[in-house]
Amino acid sequence: MKKAFLIGWKDLTLAFRDRAALIFMLAAPFALTLGMGLVTGRFSGNTGSTGVGDIPIVIIDQDGGQLAQTLVEVLQSEELSDLLEPSLGDDLAAAQAAIEADEIAAALVIPAGFTDSIIPHDGQTAPSETVQLALYSNPTRPTSVGVVRTILDGFLSQVEVNRVGAEVIITRLIATGRLQPQEAAGFAQTLAVENAAAGGQPSAISLNSVTASGEEVEFDILAILAPGMALMFLMFTASNGGRSLLIERNHGTLPRLLVSPTGTAQVLAGKTIGIYLTGVAQMLILILGTTLLFQVQWGNMAGVLLLVLASVFGAVGWGLFITAIARTPGQVAAVGSALMLTFGILGGTFINTNNMPAWYRWLTRITPNAWGVDGFTTLALGGRLADILEPLLALVVMGLVLFGVAMLLFNRRGLTQK
Amino acid sequence: MPAILEVKDLVKHYGDLVAVKGISFTIQEGEIFSLLGPNGAGKTTTISMLSTLYAPTSGDAVIGGHSISRQPMAVRNLIGVVPQDLALYEDLTARENLSFWGQMYGLSGKELSVRIDEVLEQIGLSDRAKQRVKTYSGGMKRRVNIGVGLLHKPRLLFMDEPTVGIDPQSRRAILDSVKELNRQGMTVLYTTHYMEEAEELSDRVGIIDHGGLIALGTQAELTKQVGEMETLILHIDENEDPERLAAAIRRVKGVKRADVSDHTVTVIVPEAEEALAPAVARANELGIKIRSVDMREPNLEAVFLHLTGRALRD
């Protein structure tokens, strides 16, 4: 394994000494991100357009209580009208069918007892057992679902903050003798209703949302553009890394490696590690750079790191697959460039794929870009690690499958055969 | 001296093409053995099989007691390979290249550092070790290419045409370093299509042509095959017909054979000087202008010509 890491480290060193590669790996995505930011008005303070909008959702209110009504009002508010396209319904089966038919992005069910579980009944100071909201998601529209989930998270966080705040106030009032214990229940209900109404103010919940931990998240158009660019040029790094295997074969360094006491598996593992390390370094530099230069908020750092690792894994799978089917470095370069642009377009680097037809959105799923953009967008919108499990899993599976196929092809043809 | 390499009926096919046709030979420990043959004769394919890069179609070879087919990893630990084409990372420095390749051969720590310094000294690049290889001249790159093959002190060093395409000074340095390595006890298998290199370096020579080993022995043993014959080489103008001249010279008394290649007529005769005047006279009769003349005593070129009817450079 030591030799594999040495080969990988050597490839990382060579990649960062190649000026032409550096232009594609780092300069181009920075420049394009900057350009897209200028076009979208990011640098002139206009953050109105997020590229995500008119998300169709169905709300089924089975509760009818104060808090449920507030939530419905929030989702139908003017402030969210560009983002959401909510409609009220009462048939869960019909809503599920609409999701199945890809007519809506999600269905929100507010179950009976939701308000009562948070706002105490008469004679109670503590809420009854919590009743959870149910969000039925359309798996082909993860970004849209992520937006809806973030808005709901924000609403619930606000409600929770108010509930805890009310408890503290009542406890303090009783402790100081300003409120009699027998008056507490009535006071609590009044406070909860007022808080719920205040919490439901659209100004309190918007895309400038609040994470579960209470941290405010400023949504930024560059948080979608920057990952899109980074992921597109990650495909260049992956295919260029694969191409280096064929270049080494032509330049004689691969045969030389294979006549040293280094096994074929070690050489292949080393080349894979090299591409992987280069891709991870590229992504981290771009993330750090856009954070420092453009103040892009990428979101949960652990999630970002895991998503980088998974995205690079998926991209490396593609790089190795292209290399395994190509005969010459030129073929890898040509196919790699075509794939980089195609995946960039499909994956949402240039256009919002959420408003595209279902078959198109299904097609985007073969690209690491689409999964990566979904994950990064979710995180930028305040999503947590648990919210990006699906893209993480998809990217890892994609990488594993492509890596396996590439190894079979290399094994069949031999590393030194053209 | 025990044999460090025993080649037994080694064959390599590429589809319908037979690149190596069942060659067999042995190399004794401490020897410099040259495989001499024209381009495309099968020299590189033979080295590729012996160095375990390609599996033989049939036959086997044993290096230091290990079969190249069944124990390739053990073989790789015993051998060093200097490939015909440069096999270096041009964006790494000489020191970084040597360090990387040394680690691929299992060297590390102080041992690696000491060996890198020794090899840099040996190839005369200590003062430029921190410069990237891409800034070097062709000769310097060749020396690094050789240095990589020496790092782990192999018992048997394969050198595949290491002087192709370099200046005379670097070529001289490489030939001297091969002799020095051999003096230090290293066994060398050297392939070349330059007769002079094989003559200067080799204890024994194998002549290879069209994938087959057509002669094997010391220089003295090989030149005996052509008797005491000398070689007369006539270079003529490009627009002249060498076949007409060769046909005329074959009728000169004492001429054993006259062969044509490019714009050259090569004549095998007992005394080259005696044959020169009648050969020039034939050329004048035919109106063919001779540009220059070489005369050579019995050598490996003559042996190759004698065995194949072609000059080595064909």
Question: What is the 3 state secondary structure string of B72-121?
Answer: HHHHHHHEEEECCCCCCCCCCEHHHHHHHHHHHCCCCHHHHHHHHHHHHH
CB contact (8 A) between residue B88 and residue A253: yes
pLDDT class for A304, splitting at 50, 70, 90? very high
Structural Rg of chain B based on CA atoms: 22
Q: Do B53 and A261 touch (CB under 8 A)?
A: no
- Chain B residues whose CB is inside 8 A of the A261 CB are 73, 76-77, 104-106
Please give the pLDDT value at position B100. 95
**Band of residue A50 on the pLDDT scale cut at 50, 70, 90:** very low
Residue A250's closest chain B neighbor by CA? B87
Kindly list the residues from chain B whose CB atom is less than 8 angstroms away from the CB atom of residue A416: 53-54
Closest Cα of chain A to B217: distance in Å? 28
Span A65-78, mean pLDDT? 85
* Full DSSP string of A169-202: HHHHHHHTTSS-HHHHHHHHHHHHHHHHHHHT-G
Mean pLDDT to the nearest integer, A297-317: 91
Partner residues linked to B157 by β-bridges: B80, B188
- Minimum distance, in Å, between the CA of residue A9 and any CA atom of chain B: 10
Residue closest to B10 by CA, chosen among B67, B49, B63 = B49
Over range A158-185, report the average pLDDT: 67
Q: Which candidate in B89, B105, B152, B155 is best for mutational testing of the A interface (most A CBs within 10 A)?
A: B89
Q: Is a pLDDT exceeding 70 seen at residue A209?
A: no
3-state secondary structure of A142: helix
Cβ separation of B103 and A6 shorter than 8 Å? yes
Domains and CATH numbers, chain B: 3-218 (3.40.50.300), 228-297 (3.30.70.980)
Chain B residues closer than 8 Å to A270 by CB:
none
What pLDDT score does A71 carry? 86
Q: How far is CA A54 from CA A74, A75, A139, B237, B265, in A?
A: 15, 12, 17, 85, 88
pLDDT band at residue A53, thresholds of 50, 70 and 90? Answer: low
Are the CB atoms for B98 and B176 separated by under 8 Å?
no
pLDDT classification of B66: cutoffs 50, 70, 90 = very high
Asked if pLDDT for residue B141 goes beyond 80, the answer is yes
pLDDT for residue A128:
53
Cross-strand partners of B13: B18
Q: Say yes or no: A17 contacts chain B, CB-CB below 8 A.
A: yes
Give B229→chain A minimum CA distance, Å: 42
CA distance A356 to A335: 25
Spatial separation of the C-alpha atoms in residues A224 and A228, rounded to whole Å: 6
pLDDT at residue A214 in the model: 41
pLDDT of residue A265 exceeding 80, the answer is yes
- Per residue in A230-257, pLDDT (tens digit) is 888 888 888 888 888 888 988 899 999 9
- Residue B275 to residues A162, A364, B234, B289, B306: CA-CA distances in angstroms? 116, 82, 11, 17, 18
By C-alpha distance, the chain A residue nearest B75 is A261
Name which of A119-128, A390-399, B25-34, B81-90 the model is least confident about. Answer: A119-128
Q: Are B129 and B150 in contact (CB under 8 A)?
A: no
Can you give the pLDDT at residue A83?
A: 80
Q: How does B56-67 read in b/e, with b if 16+ C-beta sit within 10 Å?
A: beebebbbbebb
Q: Which residues of B touch A258 (CB under 8 A)?
A: 52-53
How far is A11 from chain B, CA to nearest CA, in Å? 10
Q: What is the pLDDT of residue B271?
A: 85
Architecture in CATH of A55-204: 3-Layer(aba) Sandwich (3.40)
Per-residue exposure over A86-120, b if at least 16 CB sit within 10 Å of its own CB, e if not: beebeeeeebeebbeebebbbbbbbeebbbbbbbb
**Has residue A198 got a pLDDT over 60?**
no
Contact state of B87 with A255 under an 8 Å Cβ cutoff? yes
% of chain A with per-residue pLDDT over 70 = 76
Strands A134-137 and A106-110: antiparallel
Cβ-based contacts of B83 with chain A (< 8 Å): 252, 255-256
Q: What is the mean pLDDT of residues A355-361?
A: 77
Share of chain B above pLDDT 70, in %: 98
Residue A208: band (very low, low, confident or very high) from pLDDT cuts 50, 70, 90: very low
Q: What is the pLDDT of residues A104-158, one digit of tens each?
A: 888 898 888 888 777 666 555 555 566 778 888 776 676 777 778 778 877 877 7
pTM of the model: 0.69
Nearest CA in chain B to A414: B54
Percent of chain A scoring above 90 in pLDDT: 17
Judge whether B159 is closer than 8 Å to chain A, CB to CB.
no
* Residue A396 clears pLDDT 90, i.e. is over it: yes
Residues A70 and A76: their CA atoms lie apart, in Å, by: 10
The mean pLDDT value for A85-93 works out to 88
Tokens of residue A266, six digits: 């070690």
Contact A88, A104 (CB under 8 A): no
CB B47 within 8 A of CB A256: no
Helices (H), ranges, A295-328 = 301-325
Strands B257-261 and B79-82: unpaired
The domain locations on chain A are 2-41+220-413, 55-204
- Determine contact: A326 vs chain B, CB below 8 A: no
Compute, in degrees rounded to 10, the torsion defined by CA atoms A392, A394, A400, A401: -170
SS3 label, residue A217: coil
The DSSP output letter for A347 is T
Cβ(B30)–Cβ(B122) under 8 Å?
no
CB A32 within 8 A of CB A229: yes
User: Closest chain A residue to B74 measured between Cα atoms?
Assistant: A261
Q: What average pLDDT does the structure give for chain A?
A: 79
Q: Helix, strand, or coil here: A55?
A: strand
Model pLDDT, residue A120: 63
Take residue B241 and report the two structure tokens written for it. 């017909």
DSSP string, chain B: --EEEEEEEEEEEETTEEEEEEEEEEEETT-EEEEE--TTSSHHHHHHHHTTSS--SEEEEEETTEETTT-HHHHHHHEEEE-SS--S-TTSBHHHHHHHHHHHTT--HHHHHHHHHHHHHHTT-GGGTTSBGGGS-HHHHHHHHHHHHHTT--SEEEEESTTTT--HHHHHHHHHHHHHHHHTT-EEEEEES-HHHHHHH-SEEEEEETTEEEEEE-HHHHHHTTTT-EEEEEEE-TTS-HHHHHHHHTTSTT--EEEEETTEEEEEES-HHHHHHHHHHHHHHHTPPEEEEEEE-S-HHHHHHHHHSS-TT-
Total residue length of chain A: 418
Rounded to 10 deg, the angle between the A28-39 and A222-251 helix axes is 160
* pLDDT class of B240 with cuts at 50, 70, 90: confident
Cβ atoms of A114 and A76 within 8 Å: the answer is no
For residues A97 and B289, give the distance between their C-alpha atoms in angstroms, rounded to a whole number: 96
Considering chain B, what percentage of its residues have pLDDT values greater than 90?
A: 51
Query: Beta strand pairing status for B32-36 and B187-192?
Result: parallel
Do B13 and B19 form a contact (C-beta atoms < 8 A)?
Answer: yes
